[in-house]
Chain A
Amino acid sequence: MYVLRRVLLLIPVLLGLTIITFTLSNGVTNPVSAWTTDRTPPAVVEQIRKAHHFDEPFVIQYYYYLSDLFHGDWGLSHSQSDEPVLSVIRRTFPATIELATFATILQIAVGLPLGIISAVKKDKPLDHGSRLLALSGASFPVFWLALMMQYVFFYTLRLHGLPYLPSAGQVDSMVEINNPLKTVTGFVILDSLLTWNIPVLKDALVHIIMPAICDGFTGLGLITRITRSSMLEVLRQDYVTLARAKGLTERAVIYKHALKNAINPSITIIGTSFGFILAGAPLTETVFSWPGMGKWAAYAIVSNDTASIMGFVLVTGVIYVVVNLLVDVLYSVVDPRIRYG
């Protein structure tokens, strides 16, 4: 019941999102300008307006807009030599999701333990250290971090003849030519695993390290701080005192008793954090030449390609909303109070 209610709540939000993109692309900008130049004869302009229903009232236009969206017509991406927007999204989507997933895994692997330790060692040097790390994560301009990492881990290391990390792309083109990758899902790492293409897998993993650290670092603070504060809250509860009074080891108290009840807010924040990573995609992907949606969107911005930008906004919005839905459902599984509350 809870899941169903939660799914139904998505509909108005997604409709609202399309209203925003519709207003922006049909109301604020002149939609006809996508097909015309200054020298297009007025008769042709009028013809285009008629053909695409731009002469109808806004409500009717919105209906056509929605029906186009549902039929897979998201417009043409001018910055990608007029490839349909949906086809660009299909092509670039896996790279972005793969990167965001890796960054999220990295965040959890580092942020969760760090949050627990800072709660346990509250106000000790380690707590201050983790707080500073978390804060600096939230303060780093991600595009600059990416450039500086390239300078250190690619350029400087290579200059000194040390092993270095690749600065751009998803897989080295020579590796890919020598070991052609069969496309199964479109996700490079997943595909190379499925087809057991070890050279490509290795190369892809090496390529994803820098962008993933870069993306993950910015949201690290969020997870650490949330884990810390919910852990502190729980550690103050009576049942923790009881567990201690029973003579359990501190380790058992923290990991068996406290953590289970403190983890929920951390799960929730992962959804938010995933959204932040997606939002930052245009920045990191541009710097690392990562062939994902973000790089495409960033290029679309410079090329005034409104259809592509709206497509990117819609897709990220949908992903963000769906991820948060999944997180909420997961949350309700972990914590029955949510389901019956």
Chain B
Amino acid sequence: MNNISLNDFIRARISLLLDNIAVIGKDESLRFSDLVELPSNMHGQRVVVYISNTVNFIRALISLDGAVKALCPISTLTDKEELVHLLSQSQFDAVVTDLNDEHLEVFASLNLRFFNVEDMSFFDENNLNYRKQNSTWFVPTSGTTSRPKLVRHEFVSLAASSLKSKKKNASTEVWGQFYDLTRYAGYQVLFNSLLNGHALVTSSSYEQIHERVSWCAENSVTHISATPSQWRKILMTGEDAIKIPLKQIVLGGEAADQPLLNALRKHFPKATITHTYASTEAGLGISVSDGMAGFPLRFLDDSAGSASISIRNEKLFLSTSSSAFGYSDGIELKDSQGWIDTGDLVKIDGERFFIIGRESGIINVGGDKVNPEYVRQILLTHPNIDQVSIYGKKNPITGMVLVADIQLKPNADKELEKKSIKVFVKDKFQSKDQPRIINIDDEILVSSTGKLGKNHEIRK
């Protein structure tokens, strides 16, 4: 199985379905045969993929895998500071993009060569079948700090669960895309479609949720995988949502709570509802379709999936066949027995276990990881802030909302400073890290840094 690229796998696995529609975008749709005929002349290079148009993004991935030494797809919604941070973690030669120069300053400053994705059809035809590398895929994560790291995968580890199903001679599944395709969960949806001959209906997070939901209904989407926060938004579209003829609902990226599972069951009585636990580092861990929050304790003996599970010191450990190879900085993921410490805290209640938070105190806000200590340190640089406590408050609509309790320096004007802090927050933080609720208190208690303490607990 060595040296087989994404392109080769598609040809081999769905040879009878190549004339089927693979990708349905707002402006253009492509057949599988359109995708596998893409050549690449970027052999041996280390390439950043920075493409806003989803259809072009998919074309680029198929063209590059197996030809380039490494590819690092990054979301074009990434803010500048985070982009600089990600690119500093490895060496890159070039960027393939559909954006114009004003959005590419960071790449220019690193002396990367630019390739416009529109020119890809002009790439070296002679090298069409010259795909001999196991390209490294760098996938951004935000596992242990609020700043994402690059995790090293190869196509076969990223696509492990999609490759497990048998070769397909027919498909009736239509998948709707909600995840960002540069994230681990997004790759699962993409590869599952490409390698099993399913059509993928794409949309982007630039679009309003009502548009995305109507677009899925219009294209008779049968399968959607999304975070609990995204599912709540989908449900909030009301009548539009139930027009989607869903057969399969998948939830991942955050813990799925019982009220949400019940609501999905009520609105989509014919759909199978599955919630999963996966991470960029460990790959796909566990999944269950019984409609109950948490996971069965019997999974500790047999998870019926690709992962072995262990709970040690109230923490979840996984051993999987689809895990990454390591971080881009060479730090190991696994212990000597092959176990990955997920850093997720577990509570056992009856016959189930529940993921209740991160050991590091990291808060999951709508699938994005927020490091409260990072937010706290930055708020402390405000001239009139004395003490800060950051925590997540549970909320029925988004799951979690970030709260800052703030004690001002003596003699600071409460009303005036509250306004100034709100401006400060918008200026200093990207959207996910912004505390949305700011309480000015006379006195607050602050626990030791970074540990899950009184002030970092998730409050209900």
Do A and B come from the same complex?
no
State the B residues within 8 Å of A (CB): none
State the A residues within 8 Å of B (CB): none
